[in-house]
Amino acid sequence: MSSFSRRTAMGGALGLLAAPAILHAQPAGGVKIGLVAVQTGPQAALGTQLRDGYLMGLRHLNGRLGGLTAETVMIDDELRPDVAVTKVRTALERDRCDFIVGVVFSNILQAIIRPVTEANTFLISTNAGPSTFAGRGCNPFFFTTSYNNDQVHSVIGQVCEDQGYKRVFVMVPNYQAGRDAVAGFKSRFKGEVVDEVYVPLTQLDFAAELAKIAAAKPDAIFTFMPGGLGVNLVRQYRQAGLAHIPFLSTFTVDEATLPAQQDAAVGFFSAATWAPNMDNAANRRFVTDFEAAFNYVPASYAAQAYDSTMLLDSAIRRAGGRLADKDAIRAGLRAADFTSVRGNFKFGVNHYPVQDFWLLKVAKRPDGKFQTETVRKVLENDVDPWAAECRMR
- Which pLDDT value is given to residue 226? 86
How much is the pLDDT for 3?
36
Average pLDDT over residues 131-150: 94
Domain count, the chain: 2
Residues 167 and 128 in one domain: no
Three-state SS for 191-256 is CEEEEEEEECCCCCCCHHHHHHHHHHCCCEEEEECCCHHHHHHHHHHHHCCCCCCCEEEECCCCCC
> Averaged over 351-357, what is the pLDDT?
97
- How many Å apart are CA 275 and CA 287, to the nearest integer? 10
Q: What is the CATH number of the domain that holds 372?
A: 3.40.50.2300
Do 249 and 225 touch, CB atoms closer than 8 A?
Answer: yes
* Nearest one of 65, 125, 58, 128 to 290, comparing CA atoms: 58
Q: Which of 177, 192, 114, 186 is nearest to 146 (CA)?
A: 177
Question: Do 202 and 302 belong together in one domain?
Answer: no
Residues 87, 123: one domain? yes
Asked if pLDDT for residue 108 goes beyond 90, the answer is yes
Q: Please give the Cα distance from 82 to 74 (Å, whole number).
A: 17
Angle at 305 between CA 94 and CA 268, to 5 degrees: 135
Note whether 205 and 284 are same-domain residues: no
Q: Which of 8-12, 38-42, 174-178, 357-361 has the lowest mean pLDDT?
A: 8-12
Residue 105 in any domain: the answer is yes
Q: Is 69 contained in some domain?
A: yes
Residue 2 has pLDDT above 60, yes or no: no
Which domain, by its residues, includes 201?
A: 150-272+357-388
Neighbours of 1 (CB within 10 A): 6
Task: Let me know whether 308 and 290 are in one domain.
Answer: yes
What would the pLDDT profile of 31-46 be if each residue is shown by its tens digit? 999 999 999 987 898 8
Region at 312 (left for phi over 0; alpha for psi -120 to 50; beta for the rest):
alpha
User: Is residue 352 one of the residues assigned to a domain?
Assistant: no
- Do the domain assignments include residue 348? no
Query: Smallest Cα–Cα separation from 75: which of 19, 29, 2, 7?
Result: 7
Residues 313 and 291 in one domain: yes
**Which residue spans within 267-311 are E strands per DSSP?**
269-272
Is residue 21 domain-shared with residue 131, that is, in the same domain? yes
Q: How many CB atoms lie within 10 A of CB 218?
A: 23
Residue 13 lies in a domain: yes
Half-sphere exposure of 156 (CA within 13 A, CB side): 32
Structural element, H or E, at residue 44? helix 44-60
The one-letter amino acid at 274:
W
- Residue 3's CB is within 10 A of a number of other CB atoms, namely 15
DSSP 3-state assignment of 323? Answer: coil
Q: Are residues 217 and 306 in the same domain?
A: no
Read out DSSP for 113-157? HHHHHHTT-EEEESS---GGGTSTT--TTEEESS--HHHHHHHHH
* 30 and 143 together in one domain: yes
Radius of gyration over every alpha carbon of the chain, rounded to an integer in angstroms: 20
Does residue 222 lie in a domain region? yes
| Phi, psi of 84, deg, nearest 5 | -60, -45
List of residues 6+ apart from 324 with CB closer than 8 A: none
Q: Which is nearest to 307 in space by CA: 343, 278, 332, 271?
A: 343
CA distance linking residue 51 with residue 39, whole number of Å: 9
In a domain, 230, yes or no: yes
- Given a cut of 70, whether residue 16 has pLDDT beyond it is no
Q: Is the pLDDT of residue 283 over 90?
A: yes
pTM attached to this predicted model = 0.87
Same-domain status, 47 and 174:
no
Cα distances from 194 to residues 115, 218, 268, in angstroms, run 41, 7, 20
pLDDT bucket at 23, cuts 50 / 70 / 90: very low
The answer, yes or no, to whether residue 25 has pLDDT greater than 80, is no
Mean pLDDT of 315-343: 97
Indicate whether 183 and 136 sit together in one domain: no
How many residues are there in the chain?
A: 393
∠214-200-386 over CA atoms, to 5°? 95
Asked if residue 242 and residue 380 are part of one domain, the reply reads yes
Residue 175 is predicted with a pLDDT of 87
Integer angstrom CA distances of residue 278 from 20, 281, 282, 284, 371: 29, 9, 10, 8, 12
Mean residue pLDDT across the chain? 92
* Mean pLDDT along residues 79-91: 97
Say if 350 falls within a structural domain. no
Of the CA atoms within 13 Å of residue 242, those in its CB half-sphere come to 26
